[in-house]
């Protein structure tokens, strides 16, 4: 992901509560086999009418299962980075 990601405050709080680091979350995304599902955003604050959230579940290098939900953020019409809305241990 080359450092092209950012975390929401909610994601950071969830990560702290579960003892996850940024590296844990990035490893999970890098090791995921596929996007688990794509959801249409219901946020009233979204900029685009067709904004999608991507649920990715993966495993860290130590075997911990992690759940993430995020969106592709764009600037000047180009995909710039992945914004993580939620990041926590998978149940």
The whole-number pLDDT of residue 73 equals 84
The whole-number pLDDT of residue 20 equals 92
**Better pLDDT: 24 or 48:** 24
Instruction: Quote the CA–CA distance of 27 and 61 in Å, as a whole number.
Output: 7
Quote the pTM value: 0.78
Q: What angle is formed at CA 11 by the lines to CA 6 and CA 12, rounded to 5 degrees?
A: 85
CA distances from 30 to 36, 47, 57, 63, 83 (A): 13, 27, 10, 13, 15
CA distances from 28 to 44, 56, 87, 88 (A): 29, 8, 10, 11
> What are the residue boundaries of the structural domains of the chain, listed by start?
5-89
Using one digit for the tens of pLDDT, what is the confidence trace for 55-77?
999 998 889 999 999 988 877 77
């Amino acid at each position: 992901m080359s450092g092209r990601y950012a975390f929401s405050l909610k994601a950071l709080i969830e990560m702290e509560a579960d003892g996850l680091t940024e590296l844990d979350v990035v490893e999970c995304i890098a090791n995921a086999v596929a996007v688990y599902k794509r959801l249409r955003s219901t946020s009233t604050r979204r900029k685009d009418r067709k904004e999608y959230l991507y649920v990715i579940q993966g495993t860290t290098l130590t075997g911990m299962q992690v759940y993430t939900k995020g969106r592709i953020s764009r600037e000047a019409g180009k995909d710039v980075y992945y914004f993580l809305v939620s990041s926590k241990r998978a149940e």
